[in-house]
A and B are shown apart, each in its own frame.
Chain A
Amino acid sequence: MAIEPAVEPVKASGAASRARAGRRFATSLAAFVLTTALTFLGLLAITFFIGRVIPIDPVLAVVGDRAPQDVYLRVRTEMGLDRPLVVQFVSYVGDVLTGNLGMSVSTQRPVLEDLSHVFPATLEMATLGIIIGVALGVPMGVWAASRQGSYIDQAIRVVGLLGYSVPAFWLGLLGLLVFYAKLRWVGGPGRLDIFYDGLVPARTGLILVDSLLAGDFDVFRNAVSHIVLPAAILGFFSLAYIARMTRSFMLDQLGQEYVTTARVKGVPERAVIWRHAFRPIRVPLITVIGLSYAGLLEGSVMIETVFSWPGIGNYLTSALLNADMNAVLGATLVIGAVFIAINKVSDVLYRVLDPRAR
């Protein structure tokens, strides 16, 4: 028995150790909940701070700069801006928690309502993007690791570095130029051609799903032709990161003794890679994929602007250009909250699935 599995030697008195494990679980759960809550509070503090340091006086925006002093002061009190900052912050947190993100100046609707309209478009594109990224990135990383130092490895490495060096908006423009304008392989900007707009009832807001539910395959095909290019570009960026991380995880595993043992026993190389070395890296890969997915939600801001994709990123950038602060802060808050939530969920999944991290 040369190789002992890495298990803690503590096995004495089952009940006591189980109680200790339970207590440890409870403390780590409490710590997790606390840090998550603090992170969300931090996000709120940042958006609150940004809302307060704008050089534009929010009162002047309402009353105009020729309003008399008493009107100015009355509006200032009505808006609650004369209260101490802490009180304002608490009422801001209360507003956000009850779903009140204020009105958008440019759309004349509550920001939350606007966001619920645009969010599915982003979700649809980012989800397709991450599917493409995982489907290509994981095999590429495994391939590169199994031929470490070869030309294939170098090529995949350069593709990975390109993912860190190519501006997303520029790649989007080139994609539109080549695949839409010149080759006519894909649909242009937007989610659908105007002809198909509004043909299927919005149930989920995801056009691919809605058109299938309605059984309208023409709309489905048109939607696919529009989404495939922006999603593929998003997928390229997640592929770059996922392939890079997969490669390094695989290299760690392939250097371990159990892999050598399997090889010496005569296990075919394919099985060594997929059945032995790949299994343990599935858990850390979940975290990587989660991070990458969160990153795509963020990366969609640029892509949506280029593709006139009516998602949250496009909403954010047009709000920025109109100086529509409620909309800017609301969109920032929602993207930030989803980003943090995905990070935390993949963190939890990692802890639950990896016996060493429990």
Chain B
Amino acid sequence: MATTTREWLLTESPASRMQARLGRSYRVLLALLRNPLAVLGALIVLALVVLALFAPFFATHSPYAAVLADRLKPPSAEFWLGTDELGRDIWSRIVYGARITLTIVLLVAAIAAPLGMVVGAVSGYLGGWTDRILMGITDIFLSMPKLILALAFVAALGPGIENAVIAIAITSWPAYARIARAETLTIRNSEFISAVRLQGASAARVIVRHILPLCTSSVIVRVTLDMAGIILTAAGLGFLGLGAQPPLPEWGAMISRGRAFILDQWWVATMPGFAIVIVSLGFCFLGDGLRDVLDPKGSSRQ
């Protein structure tokens, strides 16, 4: 009896672990495809990744080379989005800026999400005083204004992309800790955890092998939803001159430089802003869609 790939993926009785995993991913994908906004969001995020990976291919000019004869040219067939005060093509700079945005977002996610998950899972699994102390620290961080805290950290560490990433990561892990703790509390007393413990598994093994994997989907949803905020904070730091430093084509910094010409050469400050809005919206749409699929409990409470 020949089965199609689709039937193999959607089978109710998968024969292997890999088949089960692939089948689950396929179901998530199918559900996402039914949501037009989520598809739009995914396409935008995909476009960001492609632009960042193949920036030299999409850029029409050099993002750094100043051509003073071409300074402050309006959008045209040659300069799609116009040029800035040094005659650099804004489209090309936005394309290269995608690399910076993507790097910041990925680094923040790679630092804050695992950190928050481990804190939350340890706190929820061990309970008692560990829980009280860890959650106390988490709550203190949660009740702080994030942007102000990030600003203060950058002020102390000095401007630059790395320090901006650290500052944003420091302010965004507590949300993931809260989520991971809530998930841990619901699965801590399940039978499969007891079974693993009776086999002699240590707390570390239970947390790493059995609890953290089950927290990932809700954390992924939350991280995707947070991406827009991370992009806005990073751009804000860039705008204030505390993030990426010139001549790097960071979108927020580009807006800040275009500010001086806003009245007569509106495109210099406006165009990078559209890039920020589109990419942030893309992450929001994708995150909303993912939440509807992966975390149906949370979706009724928008």
Cβ-based interface call for B28 (8 A)? no
Partner-binding segment picked from B10-18, B93-101, B202-210, B265-273:
B265-273
The answer to whether B149 touches A294 (Cβ under 8 A) is no
The answer to whether B145 touches A39 (Cβ under 8 A) is no
Q: Shortest distance in angstroms between B210's beta carbon and chain A's nearest beta carbon?
A: 32
Given contacts A164-B228, A165-B280, 9 further A-B contacts (CB under 8 A): A35-B136, A42-B144, A43-B140, A53-B157, A169-B239, A174-B270, A174-B273, A248-B301, A340-B144
The 3 lowest CB-CB distance pairs between A and B, nearest first, are A42-B140, A165-B280, A170-B273
The answer to whether A298 touches B147 (Cβ under 8 A) is yes
The answer to whether A302 touches B152 (Cβ under 8 A) is no
Within 8 A of A (CB), among B240-290: 240-242, 252, 255, 259, 262-263, 266, 269-270, 273, 276-277, 280-281, 284-285, 288
Partner of B276, one of A51, A54, A167: A167
How would residues 149 to 162 of chain B score, 1 for a CB under 8 Å from any chain A CB and 0 otherwise? 10111111110000
The answer to whether A176 touches B262 (Cβ under 8 A) is yes
Q: What is the interface size of chain B, counting residues whose CB is below 8 A from a CB of the partner?
A: 48
A286 to B95, CA, bound (A): 43
Can you sample 25 A-B contacts with CB below 8 Å?
A: A38-B140, A42-B144, A55-B156, A161-B284, A161-B285, A161-B288, A164-B229, A167-B276, A168-B232, A173-B262, A173-B270, A174-B273, A245-B302, A248-B301, A298-B148, A299-B147, A301-B147, A302-B147, A316-B151, A328-B152, A328-B155, A332-B149, A336-B144, A336-B148, A343-B143
Within 8 A of A (CB), among B93-148: 136-137, 139-141, 143-148
Number of A-B contacts (CB under 8 A): 146
Within 8 A of B (CB), among A232-273: 244-245, 247-248, 251-252
Given contacts A177-B266, A317-B240, contact A164 B284 (CB under 8 A): yes
The answer to whether A177 touches B239 (Cβ under 8 A) is no
Q: Shortest distance in angstroms between A178's beta carbon and chain B's nearest beta carbon?
A: 9
- Identify the A interface with B (CB < 8 A): 35, 38-39, 42-43, 46-47, 50-51, 53-55, 161-162, 164-170, 173-174, 176-177, 181, 244-245, 247-248, 251-252, 294-295, 297-299, 301-302, 305-306, 316-317, 320-321, 323, 325, 328-329, 332, 335-336, 339-340, 343
- Nearest A residue (CB) for B281: A165
The answer to whether B273 touches A332 (Cβ under 8 A) is no
- Nearest A residue (CB) for B273: A170
Give the chain A neighbours of B284 by CB distance below 8 A. Answer: 161, 164-165
Give the chain A neighbours of B259 by CB distance below 8 A. Answer: 173, 306
The answer to whether B145 touches A294 (Cβ under 8 A) is yes
A35 to B132, CA, bound (A): 11
Q: Shortest distance in angstroms between B104's beta carbon and chain A's nearest beta carbon?
A: 14
Give the chain A neighbours of B252 by CB distance below 8 A. Answer: 167, 169
Given contacts A35-B139, A247-B302, A294-B145, contact A167 B232 (CB under 8 A): yes
